[in-house]
Amino acid sequence: MAPFPEEVDVFTAPHWRMKQLVGLYCDKLSKTNFSNNNDFRALLQSLYATFKEFKMHEQIENEYIIGLLQQRSQTIYNVHSDNKLSEMLSLFEKGLKNVKNEYEQLNYAKQLKERLEAFTRDFLPHMKEEEEVFQPMLMEYFTYEELKDIKKKVIAQHCSQKDTAELLRGLSLWNHAEERQKFFKYSVDEKSDKEAEVSEHSTGITHLPPEVMLSIFSYLNPQELCRCSQVSMKWSQLTKTGSLWKHLYPVHWARGDWYSGPATELDTEPDEEWVKNRKDESRAFHEWDEDADIDESGNRLTRL
């Protein structure tokens, strides 16, 4: 669903603050040591303040949003009951007043976690429903200027109910949350584009055209070519090009002489003289190998 214009969107900004508070109490709950009395009481005091703000938020929405919508549409919407909030506040008060020792704190912690998890599961969808159901209805029953006025009153009521400095700081976060998200998305996209551009114009050796790589490979000996073939699939295919191997002399290669001669085109057949020389050298190497014996102790060749 497309977002509504910010100046007439009466839910998203306050709800952003409510979701922030949910995240904060979930984080505190996970970090609290319930065996420690100071940690235990600090958490309950924080939860009590948070849920008082939830209750204030619901009361403001009831009077300045849902109440006005019911009058204009002549329909009753039973969506803002503070029973759950009141129950949670009573739970926190009970913990602060009645829980006295570590054993009671640990038992209370189990109940607290279960109740908070249940509340969170209901509270977040409740806010989403308001944004997706009631905001379109407001757009239908109220003019653009009327909705701007409603939003101003909602913000003003929040400011009158809480510490001004804290509220202004929270409202600033509300009003700029979407802008920060857009800026963050733009920054990430821009970074990705720059990285792609750098990659596209990279001049590393792995990005050279095949014909250039073949020219470089033509200066390598067989051992070096074999090593290059292990770098990547692309290099492995290139090093198998016939022109890199056509002028190898088996006898020289066996003796460590890796002269490969000038590179030729892949479809060029070796001339007759090259074939004859290769046969002669192969035969000579074969005879030399059969007539020789290796004295391993002295590393010398001796004639039989």
Q: What is d(CA 222, CA 149) in angstroms, rounded to the nearest whole number?
A: 82
pLDDT the model gives residue 130: 87
pLDDT the model gives residue 118: 92
Are 135 and 144 contacting, i.e. CB atoms less than 8 angstroms apart? no
CA proximity to 50, closest of 66, 81, 29? 29
Burial of 73 (0-12, 13-18, 19+ CB in 10 A): middle
Number of domains in the chain: 3
Indicate whether 114 and 233 sit together in one domain. Answer: no
Structure tokens at 191: 């970074």
pLDDT the model gives residue 268: 46
pLDDT the model gives residue 63: 87
Residue-wise burial string across 263-291, b where 16 or more C-beta atoms lie within 10 A, e elsewhere: beeeeeeeeeeeeeebeeeeeebeeeeee
| Phi, psi for residue 85 in degrees, rounded to 5 | -65, -40
Indicate whether 258 and 175 sit together in one domain. Answer: no
Indicate whether 226 and 175 sit together in one domain. Answer: no
CA proximity to 95, closest of 26, 43, 32? 43
Q: What is d(CA 11, CA 19) in angstroms, rounded to the nearest whole number?
A: 12
- Domain ranges, residue 217: 208-245
pLDDT the model gives residue 300: 47
Q: What is d(CA 50, CA 52) in angstroms, rounded to the nearest whole number?
A: 5
pLDDT the model gives residue 167: 47
289 domain-assigned? no
Are 61 and 17 contacting, i.e. CB atoms less than 8 angstroms apart? no
Distances (CA, A) of 266 to 6, 110, 202, 215, 279: 68, 78, 29, 13, 22
pLDDT the model gives residue 220: 83
Indicate whether 12 and 118 sit together in one domain. Answer: yes
Indicate whether 154 and 236 sit together in one domain. Answer: no
298 domain-assigned? no
pLDDT the model gives residue 93: 94
Distances (CA, A) of 219 to 209, 210, 239, 266, 281: 17, 15, 12, 16, 23
292 domain-assigned? no
Q: What is d(CA 206, CA 215) in angstroms, rounded to the nearest whole number?
A: 14
* CATH number of the domain to which 108 belongs: 1.20.120.520
Return per-residue pLDDT of the chain as tens, 304 residues.
446 788 899 988 888 889 999 999 999 999 999 999 999 999 999 999 999 999 999 889 888 898 898 888 887 666 656 678 999 999 999 999 999 899 999 999 999 999 999 999 988 888 888 888 889 999 999 999 999 999 988 888 877 665 444 544 544 544 444 444 444 444 444 545 555 554 445 456 767 788 788 888 888 877 888 888 888 888 888 888 877 776 666 555 555 665 555 544 444 455 566 556 656 655 655 555 555 454 544 444 444 4
DSSP H helices, the chain, are 12-31, 37-61, 67-73, 83-98, 102-129, 135-141, 144-161, 164-200, 210-217, 222-228, 233-239, 250-254, 272-290
Indicate whether 82 and 39 sit together in one domain. Answer: yes
Q: What is d(CA 22, CA 178) in angstroms, rounded to the nearest whole number?
A: 19
Indicate whether 238 and 254 sit together in one domain. Answer: no
